[in-house]
Structure 1
């Protein structure tokens, strides 16, 4: 996840936040104010904005010092640890709520569910949430996906509910369910290109391919009239430690 430190300012400005209803859904599922919340891969604090409203002591784990610095400035009341989830050692009595926003895929798929379960108290809550970026106009969506596929046919997009299926397949949790929140997000050409430039699959590509992708997408959005509207689907997977 350290690839994001180089674009920390862009990430904070361009990435959309989460609907406030997420906090209510997490609190309702947990059933009370959690005694302690830990957030995995907190970045600049997009997910932290939701978790801080739970009014519980909050620890944020973030491996990139540049992202962590932004996080500390934004949420001085949170305890920020620089490191990975795999390096973190949970307290002996566990944590009541473990959350992860847009970072679950960066964790080791062979161990993430087991380690999360071990970090929680009995009856504790796992809350995983993130955005799935679609497009409101089907014709625009088809043109954008065709352009991206032509640039790099190896790139694959995860399904919107992949975190739910990941937790279910691991078999470490009970009472697993997913909630969905949908909204339209209109963006100008420049806003859209800045957003794309913060995505992990974009950042790991060679610079030449990055430039080609932004140029091609910019021309497309120009053809669309200089703007594009995202169909932003936010999923929240909730699960309980037995």
Structure 2
């Protein structure tokens, strides 16, 4: 997850936040305010904003020092452990909630569900949530995807709500539920290119590919009249450790 450290400030300003209702859904599913919470891969605190609303003691795991520094400046009352989830040692009695926002895919796919269940106290809640960026206008979607395929045809998106299937198939949790929030997100060219510049697949491309991509997308946004409208789908998946 340390790929994002170089764009920590941009990540904070360009990435959209999460619906406040996620906090209410977690509390309702858990049956009240949990005794403690742990957030995996907290980054600059986009998910932390929502989790802090719950009012329980919160520990954030963030191994990237630049992201952790930004997180600490925004949430001075949150405990931050500069460690990956795989190297983190849960409290002996477990924690009430294990949460993860937009970082589930960075965890070891073989062990992430088992580790999360073992980190929970009996009756504890797993809460995984994240955005899925699509385009409200089918014409914009097709033009952008064709342009990006011409630059790098190897890029592939995960299926929508893929982590719901991942959690269900693991068999580690009971009463698994999914809640979807949707809204249109209007972005001017600068905001849209800033958002794209924080995506993991973009950051792992060569500098030449990144520059070509931004130039191409910028021209397309100009052709669209200066605005891109995203269909922002935010999915929350909840599961219980009996």
Same fold (TM over 0.5): yes
Q: CA offsets, 1:99-150, max 9 Å, x none? A: 0000000000000000001000111000000000011101111111111111
Q: How far has the Cα of 1:204 moved from its partner?
A: 0.4
CA distance in 2, matches of 1:112, 1:206: 29
Counterpart CA distance in 1 for 2:229 and 2:241 is 38
- Residues of 1 paired with 2:192 and 2:233: CA distance? 16
Question: Is 1:21 aligned to 2:31, yes or no?
Answer: no
What residue is the counterpart of 2:183 in the other structure? 183
Moved over 2 A (4+): none
Name 2:216's counterpart in structure 1: 216
1:152 deviation in Å? 1.1
2:5 corresponding residue in structure 1: 5
Whether 1:70 aligns to 2:70 is yes
1:33 Cα offset (Å): 0.7
Q: Who is 2:197 aligned against?
A: 197
Determine the C-alpha separation between the residues in 1 that align with 2:154 and 2:169.
Answer: 25
Q: In the alignment, which residue of structure 2 is the partner of 1:117?
A: 117
Query: SS of 2:159's equivalent?
Result: coil
Per the normalisation by structure 2, the TM-score is: 0.99
SS in 1 for 2:85: coil
Tell me which residue corresponds to 1:227: 227
Match of 1:95 in 2: 95
TM-score, normalised via structure 1 length = 0.99
Paired residue total: 242
SS in 2 for 1:42: coil
How far apart, in 2, do the equivalents of 1:12 and 1:68 lie?
12
Partner of 1:55: 55
**Secondary structure in 1 matching 2:53:** helix
Segments of 5+ residues of structure 2 without an aligned counterpart are none
| RMSD over aligned Cα atoms | 0.6
For structure 1, list consecutive stretches of 5 or more residues without a partner in the other structure: none
Deviation at 1:159, TM superposition (A): 1.6
The answer to whether the aligner puts 1:153 opposite 2:153 as a matched pair is yes
Cα deviations by residue, 1:132-190 (Å, 9 ceiling, x for unpaired)? 00111011111111111111111111122101000011111100011000001100011
